[in-house]
Structures are given as structure tokens and as C-alpha cells.
A and B are shown apart, each in its own frame.
Chain A
Amino acid sequence: MAEEAQAPQAKLTENAFEGLPKDEAQSAENIAGPSLSYMQNVWIRFKQKTSGVVSGIIVILMIVIAFGSTPFINKSTLVKSQPQYANLPAKIPGVNLNGLNGKIKQNGEWVDVYEKNNIPKDKYFIAGTDYLGRSLAQRIVYGTKISLIVALVAAFFDLTIGVIYGVISGWKGGAVDNVMQRIIEIVSSVPNLVIVILLLVVLKPGLKSIIIAIAISSWMTMARQVRAETLSLKNQEYVLAARSLGESSWKIAMKHLIPNLSSIIIIQTMYTIPSAIFFEAFLSFIGIGISAPETSLGVLLNEGQKNFQFLPYQMWYPAVVLCVLMIAFNLLGDGLRDAFDPKSAR
């Protein structure tokens, strides 16, 4: 009260104010920038982070190359061996750099293996060959495709089983939630990988078995996170409003929950992918993964590490591709996380 009294009394006449033209009045209320949807915001934030964008481009490129190669590299090209070209190092036309010109270091000296084995002059293998004389570059591309298929399948199961399980558990709540949470608790304290390895021994090793194994073991984290988020969303006012207006649960889930869950889902998916790729590589490494004639990055790595001392390129090339793939997915995941949740980007 006292303060009010201290304020100077302004004496205003009636014409001290001037009416604004109608249209201008409206525009002052307007927000200066264009109105942006949530996704547009995410996109803008995502674009700001170079590492995320570059990773995204790399991932897309790898997907395009791996899957685009299908008409050229298939099972029958993989089966074909040319033992006369076995274990040749990389030789790229026009490049004269030791290691990429058909030479390999043997006992401290660079030796031209192509010349030594009387390989025709116009024969090039840009990433060298394996022990049966098959082009390593082709095998890496094919291996990448298999690794990506494994990854995408894992992502698919994450999205279906994981998301649905999480949403139902969180939305229904009560007894249903309780039971579903107990199940998850038990399933996730089983060392899944161990069970999966056993499963692979019982089933015929191969892509199908690995996919089943991944389906079983990959969805829990997603389900947990989605459930937690659903629990908090469920009590948000707009959801309450929709419920009290009598919207069906299905519609609420599709219209309100899923869009709001999208950030968590996308981020989690991005983290599932590298671990699925790693998982496949691991299985192939211990010898129960993809079986010949098909190949994967894991199979190539396993083959390569055996010969590392003499033919280091046989491990380096697939290892680099695998690492780039993993790093790209990880960074893409980080980029997306920061874009969806600006608080995390500091």
C-alpha cells in the first residue's frame, strides 16, 4: 500500500493514447518466427550438431551402398572362389601408396604380392582378397548388409514388442502393470546372452536364429523406458482431458502417447542398433553366428584377427567399417537425443 502511494501520479489526458490500426494490433501479438511444430524444432536442433548430421549421412550412405549392392553381390558371387588370387592385399588403380598398391610388409620390407604370384597386371582388388581369393571389398559390403539387417530387425522388435509392452504396462497400471513388471524383472535378470547362445546351439546357426535370439533379448530396456514415460504422461492434463471426453484408449495411445513417446523411442532405437551389431559380431566371433557362404562383419573380423600378424588388412578393413558403423549410430543417437531433449545438450 505504501509503495503505491509513492508512485508518481501520472496525469493523462484522453488523447494521450492513439488507437492502433486494427491489423497492426494483431501482428504485435504474433510470434516473430514462423510457428514451428515440435518435429521442426527437433530438426533445427539436430541440424546444429555437425557430428549428428555427418553420422546420419554416413548411416544413410552405408544403408544405400549395402542394400543397393544386392543385384551385384549375392550368395552366388560370394560362393565363387578363385584360389589363385588368395590373400592378396589391396590394389587400387592409380594409387601408389604402400599398402594400397598390391604391396604388403613382410619381414620389414614391402613386397609386391601381385607380382610375386604372377597376377595379371590389370587385376585389382580395392580391399584385397581373403583366403579363397574372394574380393574382400565385396564381402565387406555384403557383411555390412547382414549386420544392418540384424540391426534393423532388432530395432523392429524394439519398436513392436518393447513399445507395445511398455505402453500397455504403463497405461493399464494396477495389477496388469504389476504382473508385467515382475515378468520384465525376471526376464532381465536372466543373462539373456547366455540363453541366446544356447538357443543358437539348439537351432540351426544362421541369420534366422540370430534374429529370433535378438527378438527375445532386445526389447526389455525399451519396454521399461516407455512404461516409465507412459506413467508420467498418463497423468498429464491433456491426456486426462481426452479421457474425460471419452476418447478410446486406442485413440489416446495413437494420438497423444506415441507422439510424446517418440523421442524416447527413437533414441532408444538408436542405441539398440549398435548393440545388436556388436552382438552379431560377437556370436560370429565365437563361431555360432552367420554360417558360410553368407558372411557378416563379425565373421570377417574373426577371420581377419587370426591372420592379423601377416595380413593385417584382413582385420583392419572390416574392423574400420564396423567401428565407423557403430560410431555413426552412437553419434546419431546422441544427436537425436540432444535434438529431442535440448536439456541434455550441454
Chain B
Amino acid sequence: MAARKELLQQQELIGSLQPALHVPQNWNYEVDGPLFKAYMHTPHDVGGQFDAPALYEEKEEEQWELNTYVTCEVLGWRGIWNSEERRRRADNDLGYALYLGLPYYGRWILAAARMLVDKNHISLTELIEKIAEVKARYAKK
């Protein structure tokens, strides 16, 4: 039963990540113009949106973040994708919940993984096997 409990908790969490329109929207036969436009809006286009003053802090860079930056750039260097496919399309394709919720370089690495699968450079089975293998490799240490 522990697994069910975890599932329910996950579902609740995923539910809370959805864009908060605060209206039921799970059986829409029609979507009016403004709502369609809002749905089509790309999450990265944030200029002018309301937000409260915040503490502008520096962040020390994680090793995985630098590695991610370099991996994405080297994939560009070798012609696998261009920056625009990453920063302005793939990042947006993650959707609002992930765009706003993930760390900056979390978006980058997910976008890179998705692109490699989409462009058939690697298969999804390879990727998930590799993720499982890497996890196991470091779990042993």
C-alpha cells in the first residue's frame, strides 16, 4: 500500500504544478479566443508580468550545471542543434509548470535529452537504461 500512497502524493503534487487558471478545465469542448491565445503564449515571454521585489542573490555554480552548459554548447558546436532550438523552443516546450519550476540548467539538460531522442540520435530506451545505470553506479559508492 506504500506504493499507492506515494502515487497519490505524486498525483497531488503534479496537480498542484498545473497552471493555475482556477477554473475547471478538464473537459473543454470549446476554447474561446483569449483562452486560446493564453494557451499559445510561450512561457519564456515574461517581460512586464507582475512580480514582487525579490532578493537578487548570486549562486555558486554546481559542477553539473557547468557540465550541462558545456554539453549543450558542444552539441551546438558539432551541429547537432542550434541555440535557438534549445533556449527559445525546447525550453518552452517543457510547458509552464516545468519552465517556471525547474532550475535554470535543469531546463537545459532536459531540453538536450529531449532533442537527442526527437532527432533520433539516441533512443528513449537507451536513455532510460542509461539513467538507471548511472543511478545504480553512484548508489553503490
Indicate whether A and B interact.
Answer: no
Binding site for B on A (CB under 8 A): none
Q: Which residues of B contact A (CB under 8 A)?
A: none
